[in-house]
Amino acid sequence: MDILGIETSCDETSAAVVRDGREVLSNVVYTQIPLHRPYGGVVPEIASRAHVEKIRQVAGEALGGRKIDAVAVTYGPGLAPALLVGVNAAKGIAKSLGVPLIGVNHIEAHLHSPFLFDPSDDKETLFPDPCEECPALGLVVSGGNTILVDMPKYGKYEVIGETLDDAAGEAFDKAAKLLGLGYPGGLVIDRITTAFLAENPGKELIPFPKGRPREGVSALSGLPAALCVSFSGLKTALLRYVQTHPELSLSGPDERDYGGRVVTPAAAHVIASYQEAIVGAVVDRVRTALAMRPRKAFILGGGVSLNSGIRKELTKLCAEKGVKLYMAKPKYTGDNGAMIAGLAMYRRRVEGEAAMRMDATPSLEIGDGETTAEEI
């Protein structure tokens, strides 16, 4: 079955056609990052206007004249004016082609991205059917979410940990803004950190807090603190460090290239210490989760899952525990239509009037109201 997937929940306009849930036939992504960069973050009205301008072209390119069996779309969570563009476009395409519509949860789709493969580049056997890999634990680390879930079977999600404040991606982006590294900040912080650590193995890092919430705080809403993260203390610690070290500067006589970005060694040391605090927090929570709920696989998704520290440490941890680790190919870590089209294979198809009533749901939660295809 070939499904067209449409994604417009934030700042990427994307569409893709995926066969049988995993084989990517096309994936077109138009990123709006340059439009939002001057504001240091995503501006919902600008995002919505850019989606309106691009959606026809992006969907047309992804379709490329192919015949499809259904249209899938992200209906939440995300920015309301951005989601609406995709949902309305998907309804229009489904109606005009006379095919069913499938609503997909964006966070759940990030957990499907490790199972997507490109027929021309990849060995299909390395990308199994996710149903066969459950029970599994999953982690979505992105610009908007940091969520740890237990998946007793594919399509069922129990949230077992999450962030109490910023998502991991926000923690990267806000630090980059504070340090003057530009937007978005994750990739540049990662590159500087990788180069700095390669050059200074074993160097003592600044002991920034490791994002562990206190037991019993009400924001935990019943979740165990050992499986949750909080990045607000880390951000404040970075701000204090900058304020108490006025000599710290990105540029100076000793500045040099760290992974494509020229900064001083002192700044690179701060940046690497900050990244390692985030990596340490994430990996520590995953280690605890695997001890509390041993599972045969661990599934990692979201834009921050591209981070080299997180990839390296989780690879080590899962090898140590004998757990199979699934990470998305780099091009499927950020927001993309392929993960929407792929997961749609496992979701309920809606036709006719019912499809036209589907609504954008900005605060949709993982596991909310989804029905797997085999249940209907």
Binding site for ligand KG4 (CB under 6 A): 10, 142-144, 169, 172-173, 184-187, 190, 302-304, 306-307, 334-335
Decide whether 181 or 350 has the Cβ nearer to ligand KG4: 181
Residue 366 CB, nearest distance to ligand KG4 (Å)?
Answer: 13
Decide whether 33 or 262 has the Cβ nearer to ligand KG4: 33
Residue 69 CB, nearest distance to ligand KG4 (Å)?
Answer: 26
Residue 262 CB, nearest distance to ligand KG4 (Å)?
Answer: 19
Give just the sign of the alpha carbon dihedral 65, 70, 75, 78: negative
Decide whether 70 or 277 has the Cβ nearer to ligand KG4: 277
Decide whether 277 or 350 has the Cβ nearer to ligand KG4: 277
Residue 164 CB, nearest distance to ligand KG4 (Å)?
Answer: 17
Buried b (16+ CB within 10 A) or exposed e, 20-55: ebbbbbbbbbbebeeebeeeeebbeebbbbbbbebb
Residue 104 CB, nearest distance to ligand KG4 (Å)?
Answer: 13
Indicate the SS3 state at residue 304: helix
At position 207, the amino acid (one-letter code) is P
Is the preceding peptide bond at 135 cis, omega within 30 degrees of 0?
A: yes
Residue 169 CB, nearest distance to ligand KG4 (Å)?
Answer: 3
Decide whether 100 or 284 has the Cβ nearer to ligand KG4: 284
| Residue whose entry in the numeric block shows the structure tokens 């960069």 | 37
Decide whether 146 or 230 has the Cβ nearer to ligand KG4: 146
DSSP states of 30-94 as a string?
Answer: EE-HHHHGGGTS--HHHHHHHHHHHHHHHHHHHHTT---SEEEEEEESS-HHHHHHHHHHHHHHH
Decide whether 176 or 297 has the Cβ nearer to ligand KG4: 176
Cα distance between residue 310 and residue 271, in whole Å: 15
The β-bridge relationship of strands 136-141 and 297-301 is parallel
Q: Cβ(224)–Cβ(161) under 8 Å?
A: yes
Residue 141 CB, nearest distance to ligand KG4 (Å)?
Answer: 8
Residue 65 CB, nearest distance to ligand KG4 (Å)?
Answer: 28
Decide whether 138 or 143 has the Cβ nearer to ligand KG4: 143
Q: Could you tell me the two tokens for 317?
A: 């941890």
Cα distance between residue 128 and residue 137, in whole Å: 16
Distances (CA, A) of 284 to 170, 218, 222, 226: 19, 22, 19, 9
Residue 249 CB, nearest distance to ligand KG4 (Å)?
Answer: 23
C-alpha R_g of the chain: 21
At position 272, the amino acid (one-letter code) is A
Q: Cβ(293)–Cβ(161) under 8 Å?
A: no
Q: What is the DSSP letter of 168?
A: H
Residue 186 CB, nearest distance to ligand KG4 (Å)?
Answer: 2
- The two counts, helices (H) then strands (E), for the chain are 11, 12
Decide whether 66 or 312 has the Cβ nearer to ligand KG4: 312
Decide whether 32 or 230 has the Cβ nearer to ligand KG4: 32
